[in-house]
Chains A and B, each alone.
Chain A
Amino acid sequence: MNHETPEGKRLVEDFSLEALRGGDRAEFARLVESYSARIYRLALKMLNNPQDAEDVLQDTFLKAFRGLHNFDGRSSLSTWLYRIAANEALMFLRRNKHIIVSLDEPQETDDQTEGEPMQVIDWCCLPEEELMSSEARAVLDKAVEALPHNLRVVFLLRDIEGLSTLETGEALNLSEMAVKTRLSRARLRLREMLTGYYGERLAHQRQERKNAG
């Protein structure tokens, strides 16, 4: 949200752009305080390693501090920070890519359709405590981890960080169509992986009921 104060100072999401650009450290500390939790969460889910996520968190704000004078305010500050963080995380993954990762990560193009087999099991009826158990949460995390980087980053920005399609496109230099395509593929794959787990839980629950009855 960008607007001007009565004194004509430009505010971007309640931060003074002049102060930030002018190197005001108190204002920058406020910015770090406001966004660090979200940037850290993105980095952690991208990299699955607290130490690497911390490096990305620090590099993101170091780059932001150095680059603030170039920030033109066309995108929001949060989108701009997500853009830096996503780039840092993707660069980190590329730098540390080893053979196993590259075998798991065939090059994908956006015009591919999702042609994988679909498991059709109605697991939505499972109780909430089963769907959100600590075991289930670990499965949710593992499923995100198994996504190729280009799908993972889109899914995290859209569905976890809550950026719009347009903002995600701005953060990743992608067209809105590419964002939608990647989000669709990420969600379908996650659904497939969760169906494997929840389908088993459902079968287990039914078996227990049968044994009890």
Chain B
Amino acid sequence: MNDKTCHELLNSLSAYIDGELGQDVCAQIESHLQGCENCRIVVDSLRKTVYLYQATSEPGKVPQDVHERLFRCLDLDEFLGKGS
């Protein structure tokens, strides 16, 4: 990431991995990536970063005690345990 083009591209990479950029800009980025290994690594590791966060963020459950206190504070005790 020492080239001027690399730094200019940096702020487009997030939109690039989301597929939000127009064809022209995509083509420009892809042409740069073909000749720039450093930028390829940054794109791959940026994509992997997002993937890792999504893959490790299970919806999870509200702990039982937290769930019970929530229903109680909302005056919904009678519905406790009736949900999915």
> Which residues of A are at the interface with B, using a C-beta cutoff of 8 A?
25-26, 28-30, 32-34, 36-38, 40-41, 50, 54, 57-58, 61-62, 65, 113-115, 117-118, 120-124, 131-132, 136-137, 140, 144, 159-160, 165, 180-181, 183-184, 187-188, 190-191, 194-195
Q: Which residues of B contact A40 (CB under 8 A)?
A: 60, 62, 66
Rounded to whole Å, the gap between the CB of B82 and the closest CB of chain A is: 7
Q: Which residues of B contact A34 (CB under 8 A)?
A: 83
From DSSP, what is the main secondary structure of chain B's interface residues?
helix
Q: Name 13 interchain pairs, CB-CB below 8 A, sorted by A.
A: A37-B59, A37-B62, A38-B59, A41-B57, A50-B63, A50-B66, A58-B74, A65-B74, A131-B52, A132-B56, A159-B50, A190-B53, A191-B46
Q: How far is the CA of A33 from the CA of B70 in the complex (A)?
A: 10
Rounded to whole Å, the gap between the CB of A100 and the closest CB of chain B is: 25
Q: How far is the CA of A81 from the CA of B83 in the complex (A)?
A: 19
By the criterion CB–CB under 8 Å, are A58 and B52 in contact?
Answer: no
Can you add 15 more A-B contacts, CB < 8 Å, to A124-B44, A159-B53? A25-B76, A33-B79, A33-B84, A34-B83, A50-B66, A58-B69, A65-B74, A120-B41, A124-B41, A124-B48, A137-B56, A140-B52, A140-B56, A180-B20, A183-B14
Rounded to whole Å, the gap between the CB of B77 and the closest CB of chain A is: 10
Rounded to whole Å, the gap between the CB of A138 and the closest CB of chain B is: 11
Rounded to whole Å, the gap between the CB of A201 and the closest CB of chain B is: 13
By the criterion of a CB under 8 Å from any partner CB, how many residues of chain B are at the interface? 41
From the candidates B14, B53, B83, B84, name the one contacting A188 in the complex (CB within 8 A).
B14
Q: Which residues of B contact A144 (CB under 8 A)?
A: 53
By the criterion CB–CB under 8 Å, are B45 and A122 in contact?
Answer: yes
By the criterion CB–CB under 8 Å, are A159 and B14 in contact?
Answer: no
Rounded to whole Å, the gap between the CB of B46 and the closest CB of chain A is: 5
By the criterion CB–CB under 8 Å, are A29 and B69 in contact?
Answer: no
Q: Which residues of A contact B41 (CB under 8 A)?
A: 120-122, 124
Q: How far is the CA of A36 from the CA of B80 in the complex (A)?
A: 13
From the candidates A38, A41, A117, A160, name the one contacting B54 in the complex (CB within 8 A).
A160
